């Protein structure tokens, strides 16, 4: 069931666009009563005749009480100021009045995200994996190399199950870095959208090493445009039920696909190098994540080529990014050699300084919440519920309407 909060009579075509069983509430108060009576409701669509301040106050309170319930806001006029307020209040999507197709897409994206969020709560304990998204807004920083080696470090030769996802849909390099034949890629999941299960997800994966499987990016020009952003949420939700860890390599730009991955991630790994352009892009990235209300404690900054003598110290860098550096990865000619050989350095030489830095980061920053010996049972239980709380804050869909 979907609740439509709208006092005036609603056109039937838009009710159809919302989809499913739609119940109409004439006010925010009536909506609150309906939600109280339905513990499994996951979508509220607020019409254009509802006062904006009341709608945003409702959304802000709802995301704390019931993070699995999405709010889609319909307005007669959409601008940057409105989108900013909606983002801060936790509204998932803002749709222009009369945009039937956009409303249908927004509702479906919200339902997919709600199912993923609900899958992480104690009432539905099937989800067990930690999703880690690796991102850098500047190309050439070594993001793919970090993602690959982090996945290898987490797998520890098969001790844990890890899936590496190449989400750089247009220019993914995971296949060539690992010298894998991309006979199956994420494009093969498009036909399963909306009904993807574990069997379907397994058919997409390419095995690399014991404990490590890879979901490769498309290789055919134009295929990237065929992958809907909502499919990313669905895929990662299923993979999170199959693996201990899912590591997501991303393109060097924000997109709906990237933000959907960040929405369902427990941890964001942000990579930079000690040069002004990379640091500028990192600062912009941090500002964007703050704008989208992602908690700061779910992100780690990794400084690659940290020993480069370029006139910037670690203290200088921390002042620029206004935060601590979680890991310092030194530069080495052995890194490009390992790439050319198709063997990650963490596998080829675990005692190499680069390998040890990445393994230490994976152990200290990404693994503690999954190691019962490091925390009391109550703390582990609390950590298990954290993704649902964190994911509720994100959502690039609330910005994309500004591009229409």
Domain ranges of the chain: 2-122, 130-376
> 214 and 180 in contact (C-beta within 8 Å)?
yes
The pLDDT value given to residue 382: 35
- Burial class, 134, CB count within 10 angstroms (exposed 0-12 / middle 13-18 / buried 19+): buried
Structure tokens at 1: 């069931």
Question: Is pLDDT of 375 > 60?
Answer: no
pLDDT tier, 117 (very low <50, low <70, confident <90, very high otherwise): low
Q: Which numeric CATH code is attached to 2-122?
A: 3.40.50.2300
Q: Encode pLDDT of 152-167 as tens digits.
A: 999 988 888 999 999 9
Query: What CA–CA distance (Å, rounded) separates 291 from 6?
Result: 29
Strand partners, 46: 5, 73
Residue pair 248/133 in contact by the 8 Å Cβ criterion = yes
Q: Which of these ranges, 271-285, 307-321, 372-386, has the smallest mean pLDDT? A: 372-386
329, exposed or middle or buried, with CB in 10 Å at 0-12, 13-18, 19+? buried
pLDDT at residue 66 is higher than 90: no
285/392 Cα distance (integer angstroms): 19
Q: How many CB atoms lie within 10 A of CB 155?
A: 27
pTM here is 0.64
Query: What was the pLDDT predicted at 310?
Result: 67
Selecting from 3.30.420.10, 3.30.420.40, 3.40.50.300, 1.10.10.1100, what CATH number does the domain 130-376 have?
3.40.50.300
Q: Which of the pair, 211 or 374, is modelled with greater confidence?
A: 211
pLDDT in tens, 175-197: 999 999 888 999 999 999 888 88
2-122 and 130-376 agree in CATH topology: yes
Q: How confident is the model at residue 44 (pLDDT cuts 50, 70, 90)?
A: very high
């Amino acid at each position: 069931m979907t609740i439509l909060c709208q006092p005036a009579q609603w056109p039937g075509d838009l009710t159809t666009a919302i989809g499913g069983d739609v119940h109409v509430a004439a006010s925010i108060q009536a909506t609150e009563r309906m939600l109280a009576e339905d513990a499994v409701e996951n979508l509220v669509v607020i019409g254009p005749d509802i006062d904006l301040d009341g709608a945003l106050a409702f959304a802000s309170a709802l995301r704390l009480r019931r993070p699995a319930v999405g709010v889609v806001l319909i307005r007669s006029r959409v601008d940057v100021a409105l989108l900013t307020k909606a983002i801060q209040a936790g509204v998932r999507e803002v749709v222009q009045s009369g945009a039937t197709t956009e409303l249908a897409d927004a509702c479906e994206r919200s339902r997919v995200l709600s199912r993923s969020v609900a899958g992480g709560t104690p009432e539905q304990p099937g989800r067990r994996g930690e999703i880690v998204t690796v991102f850098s807004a500047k190309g050439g920083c070594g993001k793919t190399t970090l993602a690959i080696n982090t996945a290898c470090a987490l797998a520890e030769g098969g001790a844990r199950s890890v899936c590496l996802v190449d989400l750089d849909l247009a220019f993914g390099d995971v296949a060539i870095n690992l010298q894998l034949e991309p006979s199956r890629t994420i494009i093969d999941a498009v036909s399963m959208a909306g009904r993807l299960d574990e069997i379907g997800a397994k058919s997409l994966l390419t095995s690399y090493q014991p404990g490590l499987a890879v979901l490769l990016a498309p290789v055919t020009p134009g295929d990237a445009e065929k992958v809907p952003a909502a499919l990313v949420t669905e895929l990662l939700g299923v993979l999170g039920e199959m693996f201990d860890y899912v590591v997501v390599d991303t393109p060097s730009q924000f997109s709906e696909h990237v933000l959907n991955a960040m929405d369902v991630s427990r941890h964001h790994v942000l990579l930079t190098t000690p040069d002004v352009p990379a640091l500028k892009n990192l600062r912009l990235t941090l500002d964007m994540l703050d704008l989208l209300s992602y908690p700061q404690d779910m992100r780690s900054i990794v400084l690659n080529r940290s020993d480069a003598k370029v006139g910037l110290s670690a203290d200088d860098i921390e002042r620029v990014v206004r935060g601590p550096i979680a890991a310092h990865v030194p530069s080495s000619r052995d890194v490009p050699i390992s790439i050319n050989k198709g063997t990650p350095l963490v596998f080829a030489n675990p005692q190499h300084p680069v390998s040890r830095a990445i393994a230490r980061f994976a152990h200290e920053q990404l693994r503690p919440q999954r190691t019962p010996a490091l925390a009391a049972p109550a703390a582990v239980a609390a950590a298990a519920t954290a993704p649902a709380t964190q994911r509720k804050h994100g959502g690039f869909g609330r910005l994309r309407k500004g591009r229409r």
